[in-house]
Structure 1
């Protein structure tokens, strides 16, 4: 009699962290660049269309890299950091800490630090959250509040980057409690050639066109 096949490990859905403001600004900047460049491309004369094409080829990938591309995907097994020019995949066993200071950073046990571009730190938002927390503590110095009110106001008292750092640390700590479980992901760093290549070609083409008149 054959032994039953063990059930496969559950697949944990990714939690996604990214900047909504960055997405909106990126889409608007790309649309503006395409509109101005497209007008010069179709209505310009002489070498203007070629310069417009080279400029768009150089600018649009860079705008997308710094605004639309950054994202962090995390689940119970690993974290995947998509920065402007690199994608870093790390199992939680290699992550030492995630903290939000002047920027959000992840540090590995080997001492390597990666910035999380998708989780920008807003000092203004942090100060606003601190003022709100201070006002609430002054309104009720004994901390009397209902459970529902406390849960509802927690997000308002903490800046978005600080909340994201806490959530990521909790995922890392959860993985540490399952230390006897073998990691299914391996660490890797991949350069975003889909961004670098067109931006480099456009820049070189634009420099050549400008240099040759």
Structure 2
């Protein structure tokens, strides 16, 4: 009995050569977990022990607050590979092929700017002024540190630095990586296309339903 020859799978031309580099805010995730724990603790306590309209008010408030907390703390992420930049913000998902990215700008917020001039904020890569000041202090100490001499006046060599690059804040390093990807793949054939924006109805829907239910219950009294 003969078996048909199996042809090797045809490579998908749309598949990326590299996996996504994922960037998230660890501080935002920690804050989101803490807020969710507080909301669930207070909400479940009100549902179990409340009387009258209180359990329903608690359920409506949880239905409103939980999606919003997740949206602004745990949901934001930036995915980057050799083809495109995908920005997952609280209420939108923006996909920008590298060929459409004109600049990645850092100021009081980190933004991706398209060739058409549209700006999209990178919620998952927040600017930390404290981090920048800490990096600046480290650089100042590194440049001001003397070569040093031993107690007998002999020269005490310093250990070689691990890197000649000046210290950088974490979010600035992330933006540097994104800029390098953009410059490398700007003219790549697979990095061309049009920007796409999708609304996160999985977040908006429950939050709107919770707001409507909460408004009705408060109006009814």
The answer, yes or no, to whether TM exceeds 0.5 is yes
1:159 pairs, out of 136, 156, 169, with 169
Is the Cα–Cα contact under 8 Å of residues 99 and 192 in structure 2 kept in the other structure?
no
CA deviation profile, 1:22-75 (whole Å, cap 9, x unmatched): 011101111110111011112211110100000000000000000000000000
CA deviation profile, 1:143-202 (whole Å, cap 9, x unmatched): x98665226xx58x11111111111000000102xx252437642100000111110110
SS of the residue 2:162 aligns to = helix
1:196 pairs, out of 187, 198, 204, with 204
Kindly tell me the number of residue pairs found equivalent between the two proteins. Answer: 202
Q: Relative to structure 2, which stretch is displaced further, 97-106 or 53-62?
A: 97-106
The match for 2:76 is 70
C-alpha distance in 1, partners of 2:28/2:89? 13
Is the Cα–Cα contact under 8 Å of residues 54 and 203 in structure 1 kept in the other structure?
yes
Runs of 5+ unmatched residues, structure 2: 1-8, 148-156
Runs of 5+ unmatched residues, structure 1: none
C-alpha distance in 1, partners of 2:12/2:199? 32
C-alpha distance in 2, partners of 1:128/1:97? 26
TM-score computed with the length of structure 1 as normaliser: 0.87
2:181 pairs, out of 171, 195, 198, with 171
CA deviation profile, 1:78-100 (whole Å, cap 9, x unmatched): 01000000000010000011122
Query: Which protein is richer in helix relative to its size?
Result: 1
1:24-173 alignment to 2 at 5 Å?
24-139=30-145, 149-150=162-163, 154=165, 157-173=167-183
Structure 1 residue 18: deviation in Å? 0.8
Instruction: Name the Cα RMSD after superposition.
Output: 2.3
Query: Which protein has the larger Cα radius of gyration, Structure 1 or Structure 2?
Result: 2
SS of the residue 1:111 aligns to = coil
